[in-house]
A and B are shown apart, each in its own frame.
Chain A
Amino acid sequence: MSANIAVRAGQGAARERRAARRRIVPGDWVAVIATFVVVVGAWEAIVRIGDVSEIVLPPPSMIAQSLYDGLVHGTFLANLRYTLTETVLGFLIAAVLGIGLGALVSEVRWIRRAIYPYIVAFQTVPKIALAPLLVIWFGFGMTSKVIVAVTVAFFPIIVNTIEGLQNTDQQRIDMIRAMGAGKVETFRRVKLPSALPYIFAGLDAAIVLSLLGAVVGEFMGARAGLGNQILTFNAVLDISGSFAVLVLLSLIGYLLHLVLVLIQRRVVFWTKVTSTSSGV
């Protein structure tokens, strides 16, 4: 979990070329699907031929069955709604706090002096380790999970917001100051839009961290949610059930990331968007 280093979102040509090399072109999908078939097929074959206990490693077919049962007959959807609510709430609160405080730290000198050293220091603290404490403070309900999510999602957002605002092209600042713009106008019309690519890189990292925070929070004790569901399955040694929840969580994480990329393409339309690693 080294997510709290500012995720760069520059606009350099070299970066775009690198991104182009990393981009998946339609022909590559054949390779992607082939890899999936080979790995899953080998997994299935090894488990069946080697007669591996399904408590150690269930075969993919069994996991798929568990996923289907859980979604259609079981409690997956209810738990999914619970975890998703925690994730989105945590993310939104972290976004408001991260962008708001980031702007204050970047733009107000005395706040920067008072707070910035602490932000730098806290970056290296493994925030997820606070989860047990937060559950004790805020109880077994949804509140504690939302707060865990906020705690882990907040830092990439504030760090990227500060980084983006501080990296505003000085020429743009001179340009608008020469028109007579004060601090507020300069911030609103130049600095904030200039920082948006950085802020979105932070939000992208934060959305997946927020899901992670919600699940870990549920591990510490909860009444519902997909994290709670994993614990329940583990307790009765329903390992294929646990795997099914993991598959579901992976899909949700990916979908959340995609939603954010779509929003980013609309908002920051003037820069090429490249998906950044979530850093988890």
Chain B
Amino acid sequence: MSTMPNTDVLSEPTITDSLITIEQVTLAYPTATGAPVQALRPIDLEIADGTFVSLVGPSGCGKSTLLKILAGLLRQSEGVVHLGGRELSGPSPDVGVVFQQPVLLPWLTIVDNVLLPIRVQKRNVAQYRDRAMDLLRMVGLDGFEKRYPSELSGGMQQRAGIVRALVPNPRILLMDEPFGALDALTRERMNDDLQRIWSEERKTVFFITHSIPEAVYLSDRVLVMSERPGRIVADFSVDIERPRRLDATGDPRFQQTATTIRGLLNARGGID
């Protein structure tokens, strides 16, 4: 359903390249009254390796539900998910998750927090320590590795949360409104940081947000989800060359895409 021609070579996926394949995935919750609640209508989606895909939609439409299925935290009622050709049956070491809250453990220092996935996955900690330090430096947290989370600001904690997801070098990064709790200025900086990390690490990113400008600024593709029970109603390509600068938001192509998405969401009852 692309509304624009694809000119950017990076966002030109072929179907066979797709790293994430979602086929006819639904989710229904059982309820006490008997009739199950439908949270997701059948969803079909393919995400190419190395692309940055955002998902926007009204609150409670099932965006986070879809992300939790991809993270292996929830089991879909029907349908199949493939990650890198393998059927998904639970949490995968190929997937890193960043949550809305940083969810750092207060009894661990920052460096121990970001090395937690290495310890949980029984990998060799010494082999990943340098990577952890490099990533902390990349997000401006060098010098804070021995501090405890309570000594860091909200934005710094969220950066540590992103580093934690990146340390095991997963192919896929799932981000559930990671900057939703931050103030506007911090959020802009984080968007900039994230774009830089993405261009260096080339992860496949599945990014949930409430912010249309944020989605357009960061993404190769922006998906729009309907109100509950959610399904994907539009799929936009964002063909603005990278690296994008924060003033790329003034670009007419940027504004046109944002306006189209906003119009679509408003027609369907608004984003919030």
Known contacts A180-B91, A180-B92, A270-B148; A185/B120 CB under 8 A? yes
B10 close to A (CB within 8 Å): no
Interface contact B116-A179, CB-CB below 8 Å: yes
Query: Could you mark each residue 255-275 of chain A with 1 if its beta carbon is under 8 Å from any beta carbon of chain B, else 0?
Result: 000000000000001110000
Known contacts A172-B105, A270-B107; A179/B148 CB under 8 A? no
Known contacts A180-B93, A180-B121; A175/B103 CB under 8 A? yes
B95 close to A (CB within 8 Å): yes
Known contacts A171-B101, A270-B150; A176/B73 CB under 8 A? no
For B, the interface residue count at a CB cutoff of 8 angstroms equals 24
B99 close to A (CB within 8 Å): yes
The docked-state distance in angstroms from the alpha carbon of A87 to that of B29 is 51
B117 close to A (CB within 8 Å): yes
Q: DSSP class of B's interface residues: helix, strand, loop or mixed?
A: loop
A30 close to B (CB within 8 Å): no
A190 close to B (CB within 8 Å): yes
Interface contact B148-A171, CB-CB below 8 Å: no
Closest to B72 in A: A178
B193 vs chain A, min Cβ distance (A): 21
B119 vs chain A, min Cβ distance (A): 8
Q: Which of A143-196 contact B (CB under 8 A)?
A: 169, 171-172, 174-181, 185, 189-190, 193
The docked-state distance in angstroms from the alpha carbon of A180 to that of B93 is 7
B97 close to A (CB within 8 Å): yes
Closest to A175 in B: B103
Known contacts A189-B116, A270-B148; A179/B121 CB under 8 A? yes
Interface contact B107-A175, CB-CB below 8 Å: no
The docked-state distance in angstroms from the alpha carbon of A247 to that of B21 is 74
The docked-state distance in angstroms from the alpha carbon of A108 to that of B257 is 52
Please pick, from A178, A185, A189, A269, the residue contacting B71 in the complex, using a CB distance under 8 A: A178
B203 vs chain A, min Cβ distance (A): 15
B164 vs chain A, min Cβ distance (A): 9
For B73, the chain A residues whose CB sits under 8 A away are 174, 177-178
B60 close to A (CB within 8 Å): no
For B150, the chain A residues whose CB sits under 8 A away are 270
Interface contact A174-B107, CB-CB below 8 Å: no
For B105, the chain A residues whose CB sits under 8 A away are 172, 189-190, 193
Interface contact B107-A269, CB-CB below 8 Å: yes
For A, the interface residue count at a CB cutoff of 8 angstroms equals 18
B1 vs chain A, min Cβ distance (A): 30
The docked-state distance in angstroms from the alpha carbon of A172 to that of B72 is 15
Interface contact B120-A179, CB-CB below 8 Å: yes
The docked-state distance in angstroms from the alpha carbon of A179 to that of B106 is 18
The docked-state distance in angstroms from the alpha carbon of A252 to that of B155 is 47
For A271, the chain B residues whose CB sits under 8 A away are 106
For B148, the chain A residues whose CB sits under 8 A away are 270
Interface contact A270-B106, CB-CB below 8 Å: yes
The docked-state distance in angstroms from the alpha carbon of A172 to that of B107 is 13
B104 vs chain A, min Cβ distance (A): 9
Q: Which of B135-158 contact A (CB under 8 A)?
A: 148, 150
For A270, the chain B residues whose CB sits under 8 A away are 106-107, 148, 150
B54 vs chain A, min Cβ distance (A): 20
Q: Which of B93-132 contact A (CB under 8 A)?
A: 93, 95, 97, 99, 101, 103, 105-107, 116-117, 119-121
Interface centre among A185, A193, A270 (most CB of B within 10 A): A270
For B119, the chain A residues whose CB sits under 8 A away are 189
A49 vs chain B, min Cβ distance (A): 58
Known contacts A185-B120, A270-B148; A178/B107 CB under 8 A? no
The docked-state distance in angstroms from the alpha carbon of A179 to that of B148 is 21
B81 vs chain A, min Cβ distance (A): 15
B51 vs chain A, min Cβ distance (A): 21
Interface contact B99-A175, CB-CB below 8 Å: yes
Interface contact A176-B107, CB-CB below 8 Å: no
Interface contact B95-A178, CB-CB below 8 Å: yes
The docked-state distance in angstroms from the alpha carbon of A172 to that of B103 is 6
Interface contact B99-A171, CB-CB below 8 Å: yes
For A172, the chain B residues whose CB sits under 8 A away are 103, 105
Please pick, from B68, B99, B101, B117, the residue contacting A179 in the complex, using a CB distance under 8 A: B117
The docked-state distance in angstroms from the alpha carbon of A104 to that of B242 is 54
Interface contact A178-B97, CB-CB below 8 Å: yes
Interface contact A180-B107, CB-CB below 8 Å: no
Known contacts A178-B97, A180-B93, A270-B148; A193/B103 CB under 8 A? no
Lowest 7 CB-CB distances: which A-B pairs, in order? A270-B106, A179-B117, A178-B97, A175-B103, A179-B120, A181-B120, A180-B91
Could you list which residues of chain B lie within 8 angstroms of chain A, going by C-beta atoms?
A: 68, 71-73, 90-93, 95, 97, 99, 101, 103, 105-107, 116-117, 119-121, 148, 150, 168
Could you list which residues of chain A lie within 8 angstroms of chain B, going by C-beta atoms?
A: 169, 171-172, 174-181, 185, 189-190, 193, 269-271
12 pairs, A vs B, C-beta closer than 8 Å: A172-B105, A174-B99, A175-B99, A176-B116, A176-B120, A177-B73, A177-B91, A178-B95, A179-B91, A180-B93, A180-B121, A270-B106
